[in-house]
Structure 1
């Protein structure tokens, strides 16, 4: 009989998956890590009691976090990824042939090593790409020390507990802004909005204090139970968020990327937020 993996999403609400095969479990230098098989979601990675990614639906999360800012920008050459040790974010970024360099900063080498072994379809060789440079460091520390500038910064972090707590702070967002090239974009994961609305509200306050243009866009990722996933968007170039569908269609076609979730129409519609999120962040329209 299969074991069960129970995640406490919030008080009064648990998320349960069967563990059909336990593949690896250990305490790394930074966190508890578990990789297991589930009959519906395939291989699953969990860190410190929270499911991070699954084989079945990771493409939704990663396509939206990458292709929305890259195609909105239109001339991305250099990308910084904070977190993303499973390699799927790096994989999606490198699908864009025009990108010249990607620096990925991951705090836990064990996550990279074990995901390459047990979740190889997440990275699909991305770590071997000559454009990829992996740095093992704390994300905020890297940002505060580097003199590099990036067209897009992607925060692919865990929830704001443990090692990732500082990645939702004002100093972190300020450090990201300092490392953006002119007209650059910061995109962050901000949790399941209905259940983690305080997370969205907190990031909105920081964005408003730091950036000329900020908002959120969403996608429905089945693994992240409780409703739509929110992604933060922050830039000093308001035009990027308002790209028309024809421009996005042209850029997407030229990229040659075959997506499974992303489309230019979804890109535009993803910025249309439900009223409860607009109320929480103090906005009335996109």
Structure 2
């Protein structure tokens, strides 16, 4: 009899994946962890019954959270990753030879151990790279206390439930800004707008209170069902206001190997929003009002 993994993240809707073989199933201090061979997407990691990543499509999520902001910045040497225990983002970050140090703060050591053992196609040799600074601990506490500063902060946050709710708070993002160098960029996943619209609206409103510029871009991750995945960004500069030729030159110079989704054309296309997504975004933060012309 065929066994199925059923994800019921959204009320009134579920997705199912055939389970060929369970490789790991256990409970850490924070969550239930499961890795299994699926019938379609290869090995899959699920936390608390929700799909986190799969061998079949992880490249979309990890490449877009990494390469787009890195090439928009152009001079990233230091990176902070909050979460990301599967190692996929870390692996993409380290493809950039310009990166001198990548600090990853993951609260759940079980996820890291499981990834190293069962998901090498996702994390590669990233955990063993000499540039990796792996911290098993609380990301919110790290940004509140560290003296380090970063060119890029990637928040690989799950849905806003349980211990992860702190990764959606203003205090957390105030501290993220504190650890960012001038011109640095922050990116975070923000769910599927078709199903989690208010979450996207709330995130951009929050970012507008902290940074001069913010917004969202999109990617299509098959196992993050129901349409586009939104990836929010924030910075003290507008990362959309850049000469496309510069991104193409940076891409060629970076000589990135093995990419399956990101390219310079996708870079700019990702900022094109369908109307229903654009309507979820609050108006840009107002600039200083211009003096009104006196009436004659």
Same fold (TM over 0.5): yes
Alignment of 1:145-160 (within 5 A): 145-160=145-160
Secondary structure, counterpart of 1:221 in structure 2 = coil
The answer to whether structure 1 residue 110 and structure 2 residue 104 are counterparts is no
Q: Offset of 1:71 from its aligned partner? A: 0.3
Distance 2:69 2:109 in 1: 27
CA deviation profile, 1:119-172 (whole Å, cap 9, x unmatched): 011111101111000011111111101111100000112111122111111111
Aligned length: 283
In structure 2, the residue matched to 1:263 is 263
Do the aligned partners of 2:78 and 2:100 also contact (CA within 8 Å) in 1? yes
Distance 2:52 2:162 in 1: 14
Distance 1:197 1:82 in 2: 23
Distance 2:240 2:168 in 1: 22
Do the aligned partners of 2:79 and 2:152 also contact (CA within 8 Å) in 1? yes
The answer to whether structure 1 residue 19 and structure 2 residue 19 are counterparts is yes
Normalising by structure 1, we get a TM-score of: 0.97
Q: Offset of 1:13 from its aligned partner? A: 0.9
Structure 2: segments with no counterpart, 5+ residues: 285-296
Q: Offset of 1:275 from its aligned partner? A: 1.6
Secondary structure, counterpart of 2:142 in structure 1 = helix
Alignment of 1:1-286 (within 5 A): 1-238=1-238, 240-258=239-257, 259-283=259-283
| Runs of at least 4 residues off by over 6 Å | none
| Structure 1 range deviating more: 100-109 or 8-17 | 8-17
Taking only aligned residues, the RMSD between alpha carbons, in angstroms, comes to 1.0
Distance 1:224 1:92 in 2: 20
Structure 1: segments with no counterpart, 5+ residues: none
Larger Rg: 2
Q: Offset of 1:188 from its aligned partner? A: 0.2
Do the aligned partners of 2:86 and 2:123 also contact (CA within 8 Å) in 1? yes
Distance 1:100 1:219 in 2: 28
Do the aligned partners of 2:17 and 2:39 also contact (CA within 8 Å) in 1? no
Distance 1:115 1:49 in 2: 17
Q: Offset of 1:233 from its aligned partner? A: 0.6
Secondary structure, counterpart of 1:158 in structure 2 = coil
Secondary structure, counterpart of 2:250 in structure 1 = helix
Secondary structure, counterpart of 1:9 in structure 2 = coil
Secondary structure, counterpart of 2:280 in structure 1 = helix
Distance 1:222 1:168 in 2: 24
Do the aligned partners of 2:126 and 2:132 also contact (CA within 8 Å) in 1? yes
Distance 1:7 1:244 in 2: 42
Do the aligned partners of 2:82 and 2:105 also contact (CA within 8 Å) in 1? yes
